[in-house]
Amino acid sequence: MLSRVRGWFRRTPPSFDPTWEAVLRSGFDHWNLLDDAELERMRMLVARFFHGRRWEAAQGMDLTDEVKVLISAQASMLLLGLELDEYLDVSSVIVHKSTMRVKKQRPTGGGVWSGGTQHISGQAHHRGPVMLSWSAAQRGARVPERGMNVVYHEFAHRLDMMDGVTDGTPPLGDEAAQARWQQVFTEAFARVHDGESILRNYAGTNPAEFFAVATELFFNRPFDVFTHERDLYEELRSFYGQDPANRLVRAGIHPDA
Ligand SMILES: [Zn+2]
């Protein structure tokens, strides 16, 4: 009896508004590549993300449901194949109209710091909010071929941070998996520094940025990663539990097309 009473009072899960479907089909290219089972899980994840976060607008951003749903879906893409229905510790998302200006502080030696400003399209702090530029998020969702996606990038950082350290290695199964990951990522990271990588230079900033940039490319240009960074592709495929290259083939898109 008690369990029935408890069931009665259990919070109803957030629901996916059917009108979001058209928004996602036209505004989020990857949505159109998903099969029925993937769509079913994605609708659950999107609804959870949409309703479970605190949303804040900055720079006079008009924070409509369309904006929130398109960001929710991109963030949820990374969770699609994980045994995780929600980002832990991401309580709020702050959406800016376009790039954000942040102060850049760089040591120049002798205790002297050089200032200046930097324009960024996103930022993710440990246990803090995720900040995104809507213009970048919108472009990333619509034009994956460019290889960039600020939402994938910042939420890859959040997955990386789940074990408490932002080091380019998210929580992995066992020690063997961790050793393999570190070997593959170290070699691929070195190729960025040697100018022999398909990953953009920013990936060479540090291992955390490498993982975030690799995630963007893995989902957006999977054939490139599969062809030029095969071991990296396999590690990401196994971590994310998704095979984006195969998803393209399933949709009739081939590497030489
Ligand atoms: Zn980053």
Looking at the fold, whether 128 and 31 belong to one and the same domain comes out as yes
Return the beta strands (E) in the chain as ranges.
54-57, 92-96, 100-103, 106-109, 112-114, 117-120, 122-124, 130-133
The CA 9 to ligand 1 mean position distance, Å, reads: 41
Q: Which of 128, 143, 158 is at the close of a domain? A: 143
**235 in a structural domain:** yes
Instruction: Please give the distance, rounded to the nearest whole angstrom, from the Cα atom of residue 92 to the centre of ligand 1.
Output: 18
Question: What is the CB neighbour count within 10 angstroms for residue 71?
Answer: 28
CB 157 within 8 A of CB 127: no
Q: Are residues 130 and 56 in the same domain?
A: yes
Structural domain ending residue among the three candidates 102, 127, 143: 143
Q: Is residue 112 part of a domain?
A: yes
CB 42 within 8 A of CB 85: no
DSSP secondary structure letter of residue 205: S
Q: Is residue 232 part of a domain?
A: yes
Which distant-in-sequence residues (6+ apart) come within 8 Å of 32 by Cβ? 25, 251
Ligand 1 centre distance from Cα of residue 250 (Å): 31
Encoding tokens for residue 77? 């893409």
Same domain for 90 and 202? Answer: no
Q: Bridge-partner residues for 106, per DSSP?
A: 114
CATH number of the domain where residue 180 is located: 3.40.390.10
Query: Whole-angstrom Cα distance, residue 238 to residue 177?
Result: 10
5 assigned to some structural domain: no
The answer to whether residues 29 and 134 belong to one domain is yes
Q: How far is the CA of 209 from the centre of ligand 1 (A)?
A: 5
Question: 194 and 129 in one domain?
Answer: no
112 and 20, same structural domain? yes
How far is the centre of ligand 1, averaged over its atoms, from the C-alpha of 70 (Å)? 20
Annotate 135-161 with b (16+ C-beta within 10 A) or e (fewer). ebbbbbbeebeebbbbbbbbbbbbbbb
Residues 139 and 222 in one domain: no
Residues with CB under 5 A from ligand 1 (ion): 209, 212
CA 125 to centroid of ligand 1, rounded, Å: 10
Residue 78: inside a domain: yes
Strands 92-96 and 54-57, sheet pairing:
parallel
Residue 155 alpha carbon to ligand 1 centre in Å: 9
Are residues 101 and 20 located together in one domain of the fold? Answer: yes
- Helix 20-27 with 65-77: angle, nearest 10 deg: 70
Q: Which CATH number is 101's domain given?
A: 1.10.472.150
Q: What are phi and psi of 133, to 5 degrees?
A: -90, 125
Shared domain check, 173 and 135: no
Question: Are residues 223 and 178 located together in one domain of the fold?
Answer: yes
> Residues 206, 113: one domain?
no
Query: φ and ψ at 94, to 5 degrees?
Result: -110, 120
Structurally, the chain folds into a number of domains equal to: 2
131 and 20 within one domain: yes
pLDDT of amino acid 116: 80
Residue 214 is part of which domain span?
A: 167-257
Ligand 1 centre to CA of 154 (Å) is 6
Residues in the chain where the model's pLDDT stays below 70: 1-11, 105-115, 257
pLDDT at 235: 98
Specify whether the CB–CB gap between 113 and 105 falls below 8 A.
yes
211 alpha carbon – ligand 1 mean position (Å): 9
185 touches 235 (CB < 8 A): yes
Query: Is residue 11 in a domain?
Result: no
CA of 3 to the centre of ligand 1 (A): 45
What spacing in Å lies between the alpha carbon of 157 and ligand 1's midpoint?
A: 7
In a domain, 79, yes or no: yes
For residue 122, tell me if it sits in a domain: yes
